[in-house]
Amino acid sequence: MAVPALSETTILGIVYSLYEGDTSGWSSTSDEYLSARVYANAAINRWEFYDQTNWHELWVSLDDAASTVTKTLTADTYTYTCPDDMIKPASWVRTEDSSGNSTYWEVVQLTKVPSLVESDARFCYFTGNVKSGFTLHFNPNIDLTTGNTIRYEYYKTATTFTATSSTTEMSDPYFIVYFVLSRFYENDGEDGRASKAFQEAEGRLENMRTQNMLQVEGVADNIESTLGDQSGFGY
């Protein structure tokens, strides 16, 4: 069972208690706390890119994106900026009318677009990259209806800690606890404690990967996509 979301303050408070042996905690402006935040973000980075894993927690929908992202169509407008945290989309985009009826648009590679110039098929494609952001393009030969909702799933970047209230998507935030603890022990030259804490962290990381591979019974362990798995798709 996944551990409930813990805030940065809670996670680093647990680190403090294990490290110092009491519960008074670091001030959020202290060098120790700010160092712990850096180590915590290193842990999140390790989780995000661990063993090329597609974490279920990082697949979200456009509905989850910031309100500043355009989520509805405008007639005669065929390009739409994607969420800033997007890494790659899934293989279908939907548009939904006011009655809840969905129209499906197949995502194609940009290299196929020149051959579809005169096509009236419902296709779309993405351009861009992780650094500069992505843009969704609809086939301009199809009429779009103002107000229809745009819906699609996409793989996002992991959330890092920037404030005391920050939380992480990972299912076991105690991986962060033991990862950070190992760094403090390593700084102190306590190799035995550092190694023990790091092994605990790595065990939790591998367990998350194992759990990530478990699917609902009867559902294949893959995510169908017409796109490449790395940033820069569509080029």
pLDDT digits (tens, 9 = 90+) for 83-108: 999 999 987 999 999 999 999 999 99
Mean per-residue pLDDT of the chain: 91
Do residues 165 and 50 share a domain?
Answer: yes
219 is a domain residue: no
Do residues 124 and 191 share a domain?
Answer: no
β-pairing, 86-96 vs 149-156, is antiparallel
84 is a domain residue: yes
Q: Given this model, what pLDDT does residue 220 score? A: 44
Do residues 132 and 64 share a domain?
Answer: yes
Do residues 98 and 175 share a domain?
Answer: no
Do residues 147 and 92 share a domain?
Answer: yes
Q: What's the structural domain count of the chain?
A: 2
Do residues 49 and 62 share a domain?
Answer: no
pLDDT for residue 175 is more than 90: yes
pLDDT for residue 221 is more than 50: no
**Domain span at residue 197?**
8-55+161-213
Do residues 23 and 110 share a domain?
Answer: no
**pLDDT confidence of 15, banded at 50, 70, 90?**
very high
Mean pLDDT for 196-223 is 80
Last residue of a domain, one of 156, 182, 197: 156
Do residues 40 and 129 share a domain?
Answer: no
Q: Which amino acid is at 180?
A: V
Q: Given this model, what pLDDT does residue 3 score? A: 58
Do residues 117 and 186 share a domain?
Answer: no
SS3 120: coil
Q: Given this model, what pLDDT does residue 235 score? A: 33
* Residue 20 or 5, more confident: 20
Do residues 61 and 148 share a domain?
Answer: yes
Give the burial class of 106: count Cβ atoms within 10 A of its Cβ; 0-12 exposed, 13-18 middle, 19 or more buried: middle
pTM for this one? 0.86
Do residues 15 and 62 share a domain?
Answer: no
Q: Given this model, what pLDDT does residue 214 score? A: 87
SS3 229: coil
224 is a domain residue: no
| Gap between the Cα atoms of 96 and 103, Å rounded | 6
pLDDT for residue 233 is more than 60: no
